[in-house]
Amino acid sequence: MKRLTTDEAFREAVASEGLTIAVFKTTWCKDCHFIDPFMPDLERHYEGKVTFIELDRDDLPDLCSELNILGIPSFIAFRESKELVRFVSKLRKSREEIEEFVDRAIQVSDALAQK
């Protein structure tokens, strides 16, 4: 997963015509570390359909405030700079829940692309 460290890099990444999922994390978040082992496999599974980017909430506080990122890890799907759906919860996120979110993001993105 490509890690972005500037607002500009984030805005450029989500401006793409394709589906981009931004994963907001921090180094001190236990639930963020919980997803680390299976995320590379998940990225391979969705290769060609989704681009995943990672951002550290503590490195980009203004951007995260603008996007209302409160809980971490948070997943937000973008297409052409527009937020499509987000997955935020207080509970630890399982691989299955993340896959359900990604599948839903693909459905929403595909539906908008057909309009």
Q: How far apart are CA 106 and CA 100, in angstroms?
A: 10
Does the predicted model carry a pTM greater than 0.85? yes
Q: How far apart are CA 63 and CA 67, in angstroms?
A: 6
Amino acid identity, position 80: E
Give CA–CA dist 87/100, Å, rounded.
10
Query: Which residue stretches of the chain have pLDDT < 70?
Result: 115
Assigned token pair, 53: 């980017």
Report how far residue 95's alpha carbon sits from residue 99's, in angstroms, rounded to the nearest whole number: 6
Per-residue pLDDT tens digits for 75-107? 999 999 999 999 987 778 999 999 999 999 999
pLDDT at 90: 78
